[in-house]
Amino acid sequence: MKDLDGRASPPPAAPFDRARLDSLMAEADLDALVVTSKHNIQYLLGGYRYFFYSFADAHGLSRYLPCLVYVRDRPDEAAYIGSPMETYERDHGKFWVAHTSFGNMTVEDYAGSAVRHLLGLGRRFGRIGVEMDFLPASANRVMEAGLPGAVLVNANLTLELLRAVKTTAELAHLRSASEKVVDAMLAVFATVGEGASKHEIVDLLRREETRRGLHFEYALVNMGTTFNRAPSDQRWRPGDVLALDSGGNEQGYIGDLCRMGVLGEPDGELQDLLGEVEAIQQAARRPIRSGARGGDIFHEPDAMVARSAHREQLDFVAHGMGLISHEAPWLTDRSSVPYAAYHADRPLEAGMVISIETTLAHPRRGFIKLEDTVAVTEKGWESFGDRGRGWNRGAVGMPAGPLDHPRDQSGATP
């Protein structure tokens, strides 16, 4: 068998659940897919993401637009369309597909190569699934002109449902990312003290996550009674609460959790407020298991919020996690990220991963939040990074700002 560049290729062995993808494509009446998002290409290629364009896609007057073509029930006809420098990755055996093309440097080149591959298969394709939210207008024009007999339809849902149930390897990445994010936050709480600014805290958290092997993505920081979560020159003062909500990824899989700190000893009111948040968090876990209705996660937390004295300041939500935030399962339509509650009346499956978060925006004491990550199992759930859930004390008397050798959560110098 030859690829698009005339090189001999081994027979394909897809690194994902091919039967599941074929079934989902049949349900959506899709003959083929042309995938263009980095996260879905990473998934379909078994973890591959080209390092040269990991930061940005712009190149010259166009952009990098990798394409993966998959034909339903025919993995031997799959193709990967990449950049010329990805021939180096081909030489390392990174691609399972039988066909590749690497002579592309503009959006029109990438899309044109995908069209030529489909035409070269010698059959008519009625409905071709594309990712409308990840397909540039210029690429769409090339595909519509080159495939006049085909209809391009949005396949976002098909691809998201494919990734909903995580493999053992994916769960391991999510567990590791979650644990490292929590460890990094605990190290920050143990290091910074009075006078540390939000800018300095974010910088230190970035360093702590990076040295643990994570790719730092973001940190949402609340300090004192401000609800503004952006980095700033605001400084930590005695008695102030500090919320660290951060995302760091391992091999693309996101660890996204929130933990609380306080500069000094938490008084009884603070203990009670965080205790209420924690109680809601634990209530959300109780119904989780394979086969349970997705929307049941909300029943007890919603009731607890409704009868709370702080109900006007409390917010609870649960959403899926994986290669992207708020991926399947979609459990509610009231999230800040808009989507239908597709899984609210459907059963959870073992291997789904859920982020659970409860927020209390207290007008006098500040922003108090816990965010946890749990995986659905056959008989219940498994938590990732499930520590540091109480009030973590700041380093009273320590120098303000990041140190050259920050301490870990136990106080030891790395």
CATH number of residue 22's parent domain = 3.40.350.10
pLDDT less than 50: residues of the chain? 1, 11, 399-414
Any domain includes 104: yes
Any domain includes 11: no
Residue ranges making up the domain that contains 142? 18-162
Q: How many domains does the chain have?
A: 2
> Domain check: are 191 and 330 in the same one?
yes
- The pair phi, psi for residue 361, each rounded to 5°, is -95, 80
> Domain check: are 276 and 322 in the same one?
yes
CA distance 227 to 362: 9
pLDDT recorded at residue 11: 47
Any domain includes 316: yes
pLDDT recorded at residue 10: 52
pLDDT recorded at residue 43: 97
pLDDT recorded at residue 388: 97
Q: Exposed, middle or buried by CB within 10 Å (0-12, 13-18, 19+), for 403? A: middle
The CATH number of residue 363's host domain is 3.90.230.10
> Domain check: are 101 and 183 in the same one?
no
> Domain check: are 266 and 377 in the same one?
yes
Any domain includes 116: yes
> Domain check: are 386 and 362 in the same one?
yes
pLDDT recorded at residue 369: 98
Assign 3-class secondary structure to the chain. CECCCCCECCCCCCCCCHHHHHHHHHHCCCCEEEECCHHHHHHHCCCCCCHHHCCCCEECCEECCCEEEEECCEEEEEEEECCHHHHHHHHCCCCCCCEEECCCCCHHHHHHHHHHHHHHCCCCCCEEEECHHHCCHHHHHHHHHHCCCCEEEECHHHHHHHCCCCCHHHHHHHHHHHHHHHHHHHHHHHHCCCCCEHHHHHHHHHHHHHHCCCEEEEEEEEECCCCCCCCCCCECCCCCEEEEEEEEEECCEEEEEEEEEECCCCCHHHHHHHHHHHHHHHHHHCCCCCCCEHHHHHHHHHHHHHCCCCCCCEEEEEEEECCCEEECCCCCCCCCCCCCCCCCCCECCCCCEEEEEEEEEECCCEEEEEEEEEEECCCCEEEECCCCCCEEECCCCCCCCCCCCCCCCCCCCC
Any domain includes 414: no
pLDDT recorded at residue 335: 83
CA nearest to 157, candidates 327, 367, 382 = 327
